[in-house]
Amino acid sequence: MRRNLFFGLMLASGLAGISYEILYGRILGNLIGDQFAVSAAILITFLLGIGVGSRYAWRLWPWLWLIEAAIGICGAGFVLGGDLIDQLLYAGIPFVPSGLSGTILICIMLLIVPAFLIGCSVPLFAGYMSRLFSGAVFSGVYAVYNVGAALTALLIEYLLIRWLGITGATLGFVAVNIVIALLLKVAFADVAQPPALSDQGRLRLSPRRWQALIPVSMASAVFQLFMIKLAEMLLGPFRESFALVLSIILLGIAAGSMLVRSFGVRFHTLLLAAMAGLLLLIVTVEPVAYLYAGYYEQASENYITSVLLKWSVLALLMGIPAIAFGATIPALLGRKRGDVSRESGHLLYVASLANVTGFLLMVFVLHRYLDYGIQLVMIALLVALSWLMYARLNIQAVTVTLLLLVPMMLFEKVKWDEDLLYVSYTKFRAVDKLERARKEFDFPEKFKGYQDVFSINWINGTPYFFINGYTSIPLDSPSEKVVGALSSIHAPGLKRALVLGLGSGATASVVGEMFEATDVVEINPVVRENLFRMRKWNLEIESNPRVNIIVDDAIHFSKASDESYDLILNTVTTPLYFSSAKLYTQDFFDVVKKRLRPDGVYVTWMDGRVGDRGADIILNTIAGSFNYCAIFYIKSSYFMLIASDKPVLPSQVTSIAANKKLREHFLKEYGLLVEWMPYQLLNSRAFDLVGNAGLPLNRADYPALEFEMAKLSSRGIGEFKLRLLDEMGMHHFDEASFGQSVKFSAAVARQADIMLGDSSITRRFHAVAEGLDGKTLSLEMAAHREYVEAVVEAGNVDALHQYGYKLMRKGRYGLALEVFRQVVLLDANHNNSNFNIAACYEYLGNYPLALSYYQKELSVDAGDFDATYRIGRVYVKSKQYVKAVGYLQSILEGAGASYHGRIYHYLGRAYEGLGRDKDAEKAYEKAERATASGN
């Protein structure tokens, strides 16, 4: 019974130990953000603190119960003293420097004591256990402790924070530590008596053995960071990806420890297994990625099965190295009996210092300068170094090392596909989607930072912004610049703006052109370093003297700044990603509000990935901080939210229309009228669109939005959009701002045509506009002429052609012809303009002109077979059957397979017109066969 109790206390201590590292990171992240320097300081402090604690734990033998109690007290202090910690971080301490360095120093001061205490646990539990159990105790303690830690990593992410919040989860572990302390004090007081001095002799391990631990521990740290990045690339940059990797690492330690305990696995065997596992990883990444893609859709029908699939995929990739790395310390201790608290503490200390060194090596050298495949080879080289040190560098050891390293280098060149990691994690959700993405993928322009990877991905000739596993919008898309323009238009003044998230610089560049001063905050140094590479898509923002770009976390900057802004614009990635999720909390909205002028506006966004409940949570949370909120469309499922304590109005329409640079840029590049952008308003009372006001607010302590999005099996906000469509109407447009334009209702519908094409929002706006009065046609024509004249004046032939094509698709052939003629006047050789003129005439039944313009298209583009085929089709429609038969037969040989069915169909019609029924029947049969075969 007593042994079972002690076993339970060890497991509970393992559960609690790792929890504080995770929870402290979350608490400090909510207070100061996720800057790399701060995150690195937290991790290094824990590694060093745990290492030093392990090294000197044996000196604190009688006080294990007090150590467990102190761990709990520190946790309680962190939670209950949150306001005080916040003041220390931002108000500072007299002897601590201000700025980022001071923040890091305070974090280290806060964490070093609990980290030291946690580090004492494993060696002391091993020492206590040696008095209660016979045999090799350390491997058993190490296994149990890490099983508890692995369970905690999963429990915190998937259960505890979702049930209790961060504060509740932390206090729960505080209670666990206090109970452990009381039971140790009451039930194991005799075990706590210090061992005799003779049991505390000098370290018995030879230098060769503990020195060999250094390279492999460095390799272990590098491998862990590598797997976190690989998980981000395959599964997405989510907190759950980190939790899954961490759980496998900890379970690997537990499994490896039990292998040593049960089978006496030797240290050198583990090193060989680690190298073999790394070789297997290089070979299997691609097939395992396809395995994941093949099962994703089926598994995602249930949240638990989707988590199990992700965990299994990662376990397949990293299981062998994780077990091998995890068993190194137990293997060095072997099956040593008796008290090993001092020896194990020394090895844990060495391993922790080596882990820190490995972490620094990865972030400052390997990740920045090497591809991921080469990083795996470097990990194997570190393991090989450990093997050679342990084996005393003999010929046999060198031979074995080469037998593993040479194939690894070969397979890295032959089997490893670096570009696979850059296609975006969203493409690993179906095999056909992944195959298509790889075919369309041209090449990435890769740039790496300490922990982040940024790339300009070229896909079908279009540049895309890629960051940490996610391919975002095309860099040449107008969407992000429209966000910047719309935000500026609705600012109460144009003195000072703050943009959170630089990205490509597109959004901030427009804001920077409008405001007297603009601060832009970007958390990712590698994005800032490579901003110049995107200058053709961001109005060369770096050369704008009114723009100040700061590398910082949005939370830290907003709290530390004392500026007041007319506009604060959040452009960071979706809250689906943990680095962005905190910017959608009520805590952050309250911070932002302090930085706004009384009538200032805060702008954020959401899209279909948040889900219906997620949309409600966002709006409910904004309503907790602001009085008003308006919603605008950017795309059909990509919306912009503008919040303020004053009604949201387009106060700066005149200013942006008078900004010659911006107006010409939007017209020449995208065919957009800046003065029409306010017409993208969908609802001026966005809070009325909430479907469930009872959902919890999104708070830093309880990130309800993050949890809700994690459960989504598919994207979409169908119910929210239905409510949105039902509430749409011209009454949302303020009369004082829009009433002076008699054609504004038609312009609203026309702007939706231009931005969205044939979407439910476009159709709804047309229905609303048509129901206003009897002047619909005249208003439409006025809006049409205003737009065409502006685009013609700007000389944007492509935008004009695209507009004409949309009119043609809607059956507005007369207006489309007018537009296409303007295109031909501007550029007589513009591809497909003569074709579309011909198509309009064909649909209107004017076959002579249709034939004429199809012929003109062929003079511009002789390889346009669609025009060639349509000439034959027009011959049939115009009842020139003899010409049709001869022409269609003549083009069959050169026609692609996809045209055969259509050509035979019109041949059949031509034969019918000539009364050749048998020939017609044969032609129709061939058409059916061609159609059935997909041709």
Q: Could you tell me the residue ranges of all domains in the chain? A: 2-191+205-416, 425-471, 481-733, 872-935
Distance, CA of 876 to CA of 295 (rounded, Å): 50
Distance, CA of 634 to CA of 734 (rounded, Å): 20
CB 526 within 8 A of CB 447: yes
- pLDDT, tens digit, 9 for 90 and up, residues 196-245: 655 444 446 678 888 999 999 999 999 999 999 999 999 988 888 888 99
Residue 95, pLDDT > 90, answer no
What would the mean pLDDT of 848-862 be, rounded to a whole number?
Answer: 93
For 185, 305, 357, 607, the CA distances from 301, given in Å and listed in that order, are 49, 8, 42, 21
- pLDDT, tens digit, 9 for 90 and up, residues 633-650: 999 989 999 999 999 999
Percent of the chain clearing pLDDT 90 (strictly above): 61
Q: Which pLDDT band holds residue 106 (cuts at 50, 70, 90)?
A: confident
Pairing state between β 638-644 and 565-570: unpaired
Q: Which pLDDT band holds residue 30 (cuts at 50, 70, 90)?
A: confident
Tell me which residue of 251, 260, 53 sits closest to 145, measured CA to CA: 251
Which two tokens mark 448? 């790496």
CB 639 within 8 A of CB 723: no
The angle subtended at Cα 334 by Cα 331 and Cα 337, nearest 5°, is: 145
State residue 99's pLDDT score: 67
What class is the 2-191+205-416 domain?
Answer: mainly alpha
Residue 893, pLDDT > 80, answer no
3-state SS of 574-606 is: CCCCHHHHHHHCHHHHHHHHHHEEEEEEEEEEE
CB 514 within 8 A of CB 660: no
Residue 741, pLDDT > 70, answer no
State residue 589's pLDDT score: 96
Tell me which residue of 63, 179, 207 sits closest to 121, measured CA to CA: 63
Pairing state between β 565-570 and 453-459: unpaired
The listed range with the strongest mean pLDDT (378-382, 761-765, 775-779) is 378-382
Q: Which residue has the higher pLDDT, 253 or 344?
A: 253
CB 554 within 8 A of CB 580: no
Least trusted range by pLDDT, from 73-77, 239-243, 367-371, 786-790: 239-243
| pTM (2 d.p.) | 0.89
Tell me which residue of 373, 470, 472 sits closest to 425, measured CA to CA: 470
Kindly write down the DSSP assignment for every residue of 297-361, as one continuous string: HHHTTSHHHHHHHHHHHHHHHHHHHHHHHHTHHHHHHTT--S--HHHHHHHHHHHHHHHHHHHHH
What would the mean pLDDT of 795-812 be, rounded to a whole number?
Answer: 93
Distance, CA of 640 to CA of 487 (rounded, Å): 9
For 10, 144, 326, 645, the CA distances from 139, given in Å and listed in that order, are 13, 9, 11, 61
Sorted by sequence, the CB contacts under 8 Å of residue 395 that are 6+ apart come out as none
For 750, 757, 812, 834, the CA distances from 806, given in Å and listed in that order, are 11, 7, 9, 16
Q: Which pLDDT band holds residue 766 (cuts at 50, 70, 90)?
A: confident
Q: Which pLDDT band holds residue 780 (cuts at 50, 70, 90)?
A: confident
State residue 139's pLDDT score: 80
Tell me which residue of 557, 643, 625 sits closest to 586, measured CA to CA: 625
Is 599 in a helix, a strand, or coil?
strand
Residue type, 845: G
Residue type, 18: I
Is 548 in a helix, a strand, or coil?
strand
Tell me which residue of 42, 23, 167 sits closest to 103, measured CA to CA: 42
Percent of the chain clearing pLDDT 70 (strictly above): 94
Q: Which pLDDT band holds residue 114 (cuts at 50, 70, 90)?
A: very high
Distance, CA of 935 to CA of 927 (rounded, Å): 9
CB 758 within 8 A of CB 810: yes
Distance, CA of 904 to CA of 911 (rounded, Å): 10
Strand partners, 601: 567, 644
Which two tokens mark 800? 């004009």
Is 456 in a helix, a strand, or coil?
strand
- pLDDT, tens digit, 9 for 90 and up, residues 667-705: 999 999 999 999 999 999 999 999 999 999 999 999 888
Residue 601, pLDDT > 80, answer yes
Residue 412, pLDDT > 90, answer yes
Residue 547, pLDDT > 90, answer yes
Q: What is the DSSP letter of 598?
A: E
Alpha-carbon torsion 578, 581, 583, 586, what sign? negative
CB 577 within 8 A of CB 239: no
Least trusted range by pLDDT, from 504-513, 567-576, 752-761: 567-576
Tell me which residue of 147, 165, 145 sits closest to 156, measured CA to CA: 165
Which two tokens mark 907? 């041949």
Kindly write down the DSSP assignment for every residue of 514-532, as one continuous string: HSSEEEEEES-HHHHHTGG
What would the mean pLDDT of 717-725 be, rounded to a whole number?
Answer: 93
Residue 736, pLDDT > 60, answer no
Q: In what order do the strands lie in the sheet with 462-467?
A: 441-448, 453-459, 462-467, 470-474
> Which helix or strand (DSSP H or E) is residue 837 part of?
helix 833-844
Tell me which residue of 618, 600, 621 sits closest to 608, measured CA to CA: 618
State residue 772's pLDDT score: 64
Least trusted range by pLDDT, from 193-197, 498-502, 728-732, 836-840: 193-197
Neighbours of 827 (CB within 10 A): 15
CB 827 within 8 A of CB 797: yes
Pairing state between β 638-644 and 496-500: unpaired
**Topology of domain 481-733, CATH:** Rossmann fold (3.40.50)
State residue 844's pLDDT score: 95
Tell me which residue of 69, 86, 141 sits closest to 60, measured CA to CA: 69
State residue 200's pLDDT score: 47
Least trusted range by pLDDT, from 288-302, 356-370, 451-465, 744-758: 744-758
State residue 201's pLDDT score: 45
Which two tokens mark 39? 């995150």
Say which residue the tokens 């409940």 belong to.
613
The per-residue pLDDT of the chain, averaged, comes to 89
What would the mean pLDDT of 313-342 be, rounded to a whole number?
Answer: 85
Pick the CATH number of 872-935 from 1.25.40, 1.50.10, 1.20.120, 2.60.40: 1.25.40
Residue 137, pLDDT > 70, answer no
CB 621 within 8 A of CB 697: yes
For 747, 773, 834, the CA distances from 783, given in Å and listed in that order, are 5, 16, 25
